[in-house]
Structure 1
Amino acid sequence: MYDYRKLFDLTGKKALVVGAGSGIGEAAAHGLAAHGAHVLCGDLNLEGAQKVVDDIKNAGGSAEAIPFDMRDGAAVTKTFDGLADLDVLVSTPAINVRKELLNMSEEEFDRVMTLNLKGTFRLITAAGRNMKARGKGSIITFASIRALTVEPGQGVYAATKAGVLQMCRTLAAELGPHGVRVNAIGPGVVDTPLTAPIAANKDWYSAYANKSALGRWAKPHEMAGAVVYLASDAGSFATGTLTIVDGGWTAVDGRFTPPL
C-alpha cells in the first residue's frame, strides 16, 4: 500500500531556488527545507541569501547560499555543471517596467525580456539537461496571472510570463518521457519587493485587494505550498501545468458587484 504520509517528503532531495534572497523565492526555500530538502539559495544578493540560509538552519533545515545571476549565461552553465545531482529547480526572479507599449523603449523591452524570458530559458534548459541524464527531476517556474490576463502598462511583462508558461509546457512534453516534470505557478498579487511601488499607493493597493475573491493581497509564504506540491511526490503526475494561486482573481468577473 502506498504510504500517503510521505507525499510531501523531500528528505534527501537537493533543490536550487533562484531568487531565494527575498519574497517568493525566500518562501519557496523555507518551504522546501521544512519538508526535508537541502536547499541551495541562489541570488544576486548573497547577503540576503545567506540570511535565508541562517534562518533555515535555525529552524532545523539544511541550506547553503550561492551567488547566482541568471542573466550571465556562462555563469549559469558553470553552476549547473556542478549540479548533476539536482532534484528540484525553482525559478522566481522577474522585473517589470510599467509603461504603455507605445511609450516602451527598446532598451526597456530588452531588459525585461533578458531577465524574465531569456534568463528563465537558461535555467530550465540547463536543469533539464541534468535531470534528463538522471531520468528524474522537477522544474518549477513562476509565471503569473499576467500570462492569462493583462492590464494597461503590463504588455511586455505579460508577454514574458506567457512565454515562460509556453516554454514550460513545451519542455514538459519534451522531458516527460525521461521522467522529468516541468510546471509553472501563476501568482496573483503578492506583497513582495517587486510590488512595493504599488503597495505604496493606497488606492492602487486597495483596488488590487478588492479584485480578488479573498479581498486581500497574498503573502509570500502562501506560494510555498504550491512549490512543495510540485516538487514532491504529491505532484508526481502533474506536468505541463499552470497552478494558479491568485485568491480568485482570474475567477471573478470584473470589479463591480451588481445589486442583487
Structure 2
Amino acid sequence: MTNRYRALFDLTGKSALVMGAASGIGQATAQMLAGLGAQVVCADLDGPGAVETAKTIVSEGGTAQGLAADLGSHEQIARAVRTTVDAYGRLDIGVTTPGINIRKRLAAYTEEEFDRIVNLNLKGTFFFLKEASTVMAEQGGGSLIACSSMRALMVEPGLGVYASTKAAILQMARGLATEVGPQGVRVNTIAPGVIDTPLTRPLWDDVKAREAYSAHTVFGRWGSADEVASAVAFLASDAASYVTGENLVVDAGWTVIDGRFDPGR
C-alpha cells in the first residue's frame, strides 16, 4: 500500500521542460523534478547557467540537458519545446518561472519599461503555454505550471505593473485549463511569497526591508526556492491528477494574515 502512494509522486519516465532553470525557483524546480525521476531540459536566457544546472543533475545520477532560451522569444520557446520532445519523445511537464520587475510607481513608468515587463512576464508566459499545451493536447496529457505571485492577490506601492502581469498569468492559465482539460492537460499556477532568489536579492540585502517582509509572514521568515519547487513537483505529479485551473499560494500566510496584532496576547 505504501508503494502505491509513493508512486503518485514518482516522476520516473516523465519528461520536463523548465524555463528559468539557471537560478532561483527554476533551478530548484529542475533539480527537484530530476530528483523525483524526471528527464529534464533546463532552459534559460543564461545558457551557460542552464547547462551548469543540467550538469549538476547528471552528476547526481539524473538525466538532463541545458540550452539557452529567452522566454521573451516565441521562436526560442518553440525550439525548447521541440528539443524536449526530440530528446525524450514527449513533453509531460512544463514549468515557466522567469519574471522581471522594475519597482517604480505607476506614474513614473516609461512606455519602454512597461513593455519590457509585459513582454517577458505575460507575453513570454503566453508563448510558453501556447507551445507546450499544443504538444500536450496532441499527445493526450501533461501538466503545465506557470509562475504567478502573491502580488497577483495583494500589492504594494511600486509593484502595479509587475502585479498586473502576475494577475493576468493567473487568469490566462485558468482559461487555458478550461480549453485543454478535455485532452487530459492540466494547467495550474504557483504564487510564491517572499522567496530568496536573484529577483528579490535587492530586498534581501536591505536589512530593514528583509526584516519587515519576514515579520509579515506567519513563520517570520523568507522562503527558499526549494519550498516553492516542492509545490511545483506536487502539481507536476499524479498526486495532483484532479487539480487544474488552480493557484497554489506558497507564501507562509502572507495573503491570509491581516496585520500582526493578536488580541489574545
TM-score calculated relative to the size of structure 1: 0.96
CA contact (8 A) 1:141 1:183 kept: yes
SS of the residue 1:196 aligns to? helix
Over the matched positions of the two proteins, sequence identity in percent amounts to 50
2:66 match: 65
RMSD: 1.4
After superposition, what is the alpha-carbon deviation per residue over 1:38-58, rounded to whole angstroms, capped at 9, x for unaligned? 010001111111221121112
**How many pairs were matched up?**
260
The amino acid of 1:231's aligned partner reads A
Is residue 2:238 matched to residue 1:237? no
Q: How does 1:154-173 map to 2 (within 5 A)?
A: 154-173=159-178
The 3-state SS of whatever aligns with 1:253 is: coil
SS of the aligned residue for 1:3 comes to helix
User: Does structure 2 retain, via aligned residues, the 8 Å contact 1:83–1:130?
Assistant: no
Question: Is 1:203 matched up with 2:204?
Answer: no
1:142 to 147, 151, 160: 147
Mapped partners of 2:183, 2:264: distance in 1: 54
1:120 aligns with 2:125: yes
Unmatched tracts of structure 1, length 5 or more: none
Match of 1:4 in 2: 5
Residues in 2 aligned to 1:33 and 1:24: alpha-carbon distance in whole angstroms: 14
Q: Letter of the aligned partner of 1:209 in structure 2?
A: S
Partner of 2:105: 100
Which residue matches 1:188? Answer: 193
For 1:35-46, list aligned pairs within 5 A: 35-46=36-47
SS at match of 2:130: helix
Per-residue deviation, 1:83: 4.2
Secondary structure at the aligned position of 2:129 is classed as helix
- For the residues of structure 1 that align with 2:140 and 2:183, how far apart are their CA atoms? 5
CA offset digits 1:216-251 (Å, max 9, x no partner): 000111111111111110111110000011011111
Per-residue deviation, 1:164: 0.4
Q: Which runs of 5+ in 2 are unaligned?
A: none
Aligned-partner residue type, residue 189 of structure 2: A
Give the deviation of 1:9 after TM superposition.
0.7
**2:15–2:84 contact (8 Å) kept in structure 1:** no
Provide the rounded CA distance (Å) in 1 between the counterparts of 2:112 and 2:52.
33
1:228 aligns with 2:229: no
